[in-house]
Amino acid sequence: MSIRLDPRRLAALKLLAGEEGLRPGELVTRWVEERLDAARAGQPAPTQASTGDSSKALAALSSRVDELARRLDAFTATPPAAAPSDAAVEPTAPGAEAAEPVTPKRRGRPPRSVTPASTPKRERATAAAGRVALHDEIVALISERGPMTAAELATAIQERGRYSSPRSAKPFDASTVNARVSNPVYRSRFTRDRGRIGLATSS
């Protein structure tokens, strides 16, 4: 046999059974046996007065359960906090464009001249120092006098005096010119024909 109770009365039954030191099923069994014994003996069913403190406690507990249920219902029925009003957001005028951020100007020294990154490192260093690069001097001499041997170019460069070798300990001669002309960075500017160095068509 099973008994179905609503959640509130079931909670009250559990509390009453706990106060009696019994399980809920044992308490229900005891109540049923009391009524059966009274009916068998021809006595009226126990009333609230005869059941004593248990009936009073059940009534009080039922009232407490009802009160808690009402409070829970009131709490869940509370409307959520109102969302911020759209009026607090300043609308953007139609057709207005967002202003571009203004980058503050740096104070101090004026910007340095920037040399293209494609320029060879040695050439950038030479230009920064205000010196004439060796390959530029070779190009200038060949443009003025035509194709020349490495030795002739070395002699002409020394006579002009525009180029000064950064390595003073190393003598400047034809091998220095040959090394610069054969350098992978600059050799596309020059051609060699019968021992003479000339300028490539693209130079």
DSSP 149-195: -HHHHHHHHHHH-----S-TTSPPSHHHHHHHHHSTTTGGGEEEETT
The pLDDT of residue 88 is: 47
SS3 148: strand
% the chain with pLDDT above 90: 22
> What are 180-189's pLDDT values in tens digits?
999 999 989 9
Residues 39-73: pLDDT tens digits? Answer: 888 766 555 444 556 667 667 767 777 776 677 67
- Dihedrals phi, psi of 163, to nearest 5 degrees: -100, 130
Q: Inter-axis angle of helices 7-20 and 53-76, to 10 degrees? A: 140
pTM of the model: 0.37
